[in-house]
């Protein structure tokens, strides 16, 4: 399966902001847990609700 390439810096694209204390927190211990949280944030709406499928989560976060 071919991986997508990064877009150039001039392209408009969405992003997720993370606080530094999130990266240093002991709440989520492993990098896998943190990556899953970041992936869930990608799908979250203004109420922080999201419903991606397990297939979509594994496709993006692994």
- Of the two residues 37 and 4, the one the predictor is more confident about is 37
Q: 43 is written with which tokens?
A: 């799908």
Q: How far out from the chain centre does Cα 1 lie?
A: 20
Query: Which residues, other chains included, contact 62 with Cβ-Cβ below 8 Å and sequence gap of 6+?
Result: none
Mean pLDDT of 39-61: 89
pLDDT band at 8 (very low <50, low <70, confident <90, very high): low
Place of tokens 């993006």: 60
pTM of the model: 0.65
DSSP letter for 9, please.
T
Mean pLDDT of 55-60: 88
Distance, in Å, from the CA atom of 14 to the CA atom of 59, rounded to the nearest integer, reads: 18
pLDDT band at 60 (very low <50, low <70, confident <90, very high): confident
Q: 35 is written with which tokens?
A: 């990556």
pLDDT at 54: 92
């Amino acid at each position: 399966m071919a991986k997508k390439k990064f877009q150039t810096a001039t392209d408009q694209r969405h992003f997720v902001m993370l606080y530094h204390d999130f990266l240093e927190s002991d709440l989520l211990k492993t990098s896998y847990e943190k990556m899953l949280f970041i992936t869930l944030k990608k799908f979250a709406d203004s109420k922080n609700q999201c419903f991606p499928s397990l297939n979509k989560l594994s496709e993006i976060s692994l």
